[in-house]
Structure 1
Amino acid sequence: MITVRRSEERGRYQQDWLDSRHTFSFDTYQDPRHTGFRKLRVINEDRVEAGGGFPLHPHRDMEIVSIVIEGALKHQDSLGHEGIIEAGQLQRITAGNGVRHSEYNPSDEEPVHFLQIWIFPDAEGLKPSYETKDFSDLPANTLRPVATRDGRLGSATIHQDVSLYLAKIEKGKRLDHQLDAERHAWVQVVDGAVELNGTALQAGDGAAVSEERILLISAVSHARFLLFDLN
């Protein structure tokens, strides 16, 4: 069963420096029909203008993954980490028993476009931690694990039975992914257009997948997408 969440149906929050699209309920956007999927709680697609950003604020008991699509994002946190991640790079924050962080666009001219993802951890009160990974050399036509429970193949480590894959696929190509019994998936299209088991998906669309064992993802155009394999 595939249930599509269309891009234009997402929540939206705008102010002078921010344009944010919410796949699931977030902050002032609340929709009881869309509060997450399995352990996946948030997928926000954020565009932050030059010099704009989120000031220091707290989190706890959440795995927070940010993936930069275009531009750069400056991170600073109460653990003492500070740095800039650029297009194709990822950061993972384990908020655990409490962390404060800020995220800003360090550019004076260019916007930053990134995805912010929240996943419920498998335990409360974990020790907060932070890491970054570089996937800017992502090869075409392959599903690359970028965040997993065991940190396999150089992926970031998250504290949950979730595997997050990033793919860049060329027009006319197809990628297959097998789900184990009782597993579920969420597919989020970053850009371009694909078909998921024959269902058309465009940039910004998401799709919840249950009771399917094989995912066949075909590129209608050059595209990038995320695939979450969830328990």
Structure 2
Amino acid sequence: MKMQKIIHKSKNRGHVDFGWLKSAHSFSFGNYFDQDKVNFGALRVLNDDFVEAGNGFGRHPHDNMEIVSIPLEGVLSHQDSMGTSRDIQTGDVQIMSAGTGVTHSEFNGSKENPVKFLQIWVIPSERQLTPSYDQKSYTDVDRKNKFATIVSPNIADSQAVLIHQDAYFNLADLDAGISTNYALHGESNGVYIFVLEGSVQVAGEVLDRRDAIGIWEIDHIDVQSTTDAQVLLIEVPMF
């Protein structure tokens, strides 16, 4: 295998500003379209959202998509047509499997402070699944200088929410100067590494805050932190 890679710099993401909502799109979404950024394998959307206090997304439909929300700051309030009504706190990960169809709303759970969160869509392995919801806290999961899985297709991964795809979301909090290795679960998979905070080196590339790199045709990858860093690594099938 010869490693393949693509670099997505933070400044080159699609940016929208509606006042109450500021969002940066790593992939084509809404009015932002880039033919070179439609998806990375089964990873279809990665939106970096900022929602002002008391605002949010009203009830709207989805189907045949695995939708993951990860608050980075603040509280996200979720309601859906399955009867779910939950607050998603910073330190939680939530997944909604839209399947045959579901409607939901997402609002800032605070009337005083903004909420910052990632909304990530993954194409499921099967269409027309029964809609479902899962949410867990990863606050106590050990991710110090190593990757911890928070989204997984394996029920045995008790700390992770369940996804209907051969996909794995992993978080790491790295001290400066740490080298961390990640082994992929399948040879047809790739990894999309998104730097939440700090700076790292991956595959000979320097990545700063909110930069990303997609890598495939590998069986493992090393992530070297050049500063204290927080990293999200998403492993997905490349089809």
TM bin, normalised by shorter chain, reads over 0.9
- Structure 2 CA distance, aligned partners of 1:130 and 1:188? 25
Which position in structure 2 is the counterpart of 1:181?
Answer: 187
* Residue 154 (structure 1) shift: 2.0
* Residue 166 (structure 1) shift: 1.3
* Residue 49 (structure 1) shift: 0.7
TM-score (norm 2): 0.93
Which position in structure 2 is the counterpart of 1:149?
Answer: 153
* 1:4 and 2:10 are equivalent in the alignment: no
Which position in structure 2 is the counterpart of 1:131?
Answer: 134
Equivalent positions of 1:15-94 (< 5 A) are: 15-94=18-97
TM-score (norm 1): 0.96
Contact kept, 8 Å, 1:61 with 1:120, in 2: the verdict is: yes
- Structure 1 CA distance, aligned partners of 2:204 and 2:116? 29
* Residue 210 (structure 1) shift: 1.5
- Structure 1 CA distance, aligned partners of 2:216 and 2:99? 29
* 1:106 and 2:109 are equivalent in the alignment: yes
The alignment covers a number of residue pairs equal to 231
Match of 2:11, SS state, is: helix
Contact kept, 8 Å, 1:145 with 1:153, in 2: the verdict is: no
* Residue 26 (structure 1) shift: 0.2
- Structure 1 CA distance, aligned partners of 2:109 and 2:216? 40
Describe the superposition over 1:158-207 as per-residue Cα deviations: whole angstroms up to 9, x where unpaired. Answer: 00111111111111112101234333111111111111133111111111
Deviates more, 1:189-198 or 1:117-126: 189-198
* Pair 223,16 (structure 1): closer, same or farther in 2 beyond 3 Å: same
Of residues 156, 161, 166, the one that matches 2:166 is 161
Match of 1:8, SS state, is: helix
Structure 1, unmatched stretches of 5+, are none
- Across the aligned residues of Structure 1 and Structure 2, the Cα RMSD in angstroms comes to 1.2
Of residues 172, 194, 201, the one that matches 2:177 is 172
* 1:213 and 2:219 are equivalent in the alignment: yes
- Structure 2 CA distance, aligned partners of 1:86 and 1:176? 29
Structure 2, unmatched stretches of 5+, are none
* Residue 221 (structure 1) shift: 1.3
* 1:119 and 2:122 are equivalent in the alignment: yes
Contact kept, 8 Å, 2:138 with 2:159, in 1: the verdict is: no
- Structure 2 CA distance, aligned partners of 1:51 and 1:174? 41
Match of 2:188, SS state, is: coil
Match of 1:217, SS state, is: strand
